[in-house]
Amino acid sequence: MIPAAVLHLSFSANAYGLFGLANAYGLFGLANAFHNVHWVLKKINVYAYSMLIIKVETGRVDGHRLCITGESAGGFTTLACLAFRQTFMAGCSLYGIADLSSLRAGSHKFEAYYTDNLVGNKQAYFERSPINFVDKFTCPLILFHGLKDTVVSPEQTTKIYKAIKEKGLPVALVEYEGEPHGFRKAENIKFTMEQEMVFFARLVGKFNVADDITPIKIENFD
């Protein structure tokens, strides 16, 4: 997992401005309402989106160069935003959830019904899974996943990568041998941040980052 402080320092040093939303349940003081997740998700969505729009309207950020990134559940948020909102110009998902049904099927017995409380019925699983709405994606996407991930299967990322590539949108995929859910090796964390910054700079910002970084190939772009 990439430490937030490192992420902010690295991006801000390369002319990026960051707006983060972390520990959403604690943010809203909703520990006692944990199981009322449908309401919680709506509250978080409205809060985060409203704050972002305020920054755009006040001129603090360029509304035509907004990007979104997230890890794990944050990766799911990234993919969901790209599928269900036309706000961002590019996205980055790190070991994110693309298919909620696959996540449920792969959960061990101690968490077998955990996602049911979070998601709802079978129809909700379908309607909230970004993989089922690739036709709504309109912008570039870069994906990172560890091949030893036992929490979110690497197949989820491979599946959405292939779908986005087939759709003809710019997309890139980086897979790490031996990495679990949340990257551990310093060189992989460094490479991830570098490639994410360069990806956004090339496809959205149209500028060169300060660091000397060789970009990976982007399908449907390079």
User: Which own/partner pairs from 14-17 qualify as long-range (CB within 8 Å, at least 24 positions apart)?
Assistant: 14/197, 14/201, 14/209, 14/210, 14/211, 15/205, 15/207, 15/209, 15/210, 16/197, 16/200, 17/60, 17/61
Q: Measured between alpha carbons, how far is 203 from 215 in angstroms, rounded to an integer?
A: 12
The pLDDT value given to residue 163: 96
CA distances from 28 to 31, 80, 129 (A): 9, 21, 25
Q: Which residues make Cβ contacts (< 8 Å) with residue 6, sequence separation at least 6?
A: 189, 193
The pLDDT value given to residue 112: 53
Prediction pTM value: 0.82
Low-confidence ranges of the chain (pLDDT < 50): 23-37, 39-40, 110
Q: Are 154 and 93 in contact (CB under 8 A)?
A: no
CATH number, domain 64-205, options 3.40.50.1820, 3.30.70.3000, 3.40.50.970, 3.40.190.170: 3.40.50.1820
The pLDDT value given to residue 209: 79
Q: What is the mean pLDDT of the chain?
A: 80
Q: Are 95 and 69 in contact (CB under 8 A)?
A: no
Tens of pLDDT, residues 138-193: 999 999 999 999 989 999 999 999 999 999 999 999 999 999 999 999 999 999 99
The pLDDT value given to residue 100: 84
- What is the token pair recorded at 151? 């929490």
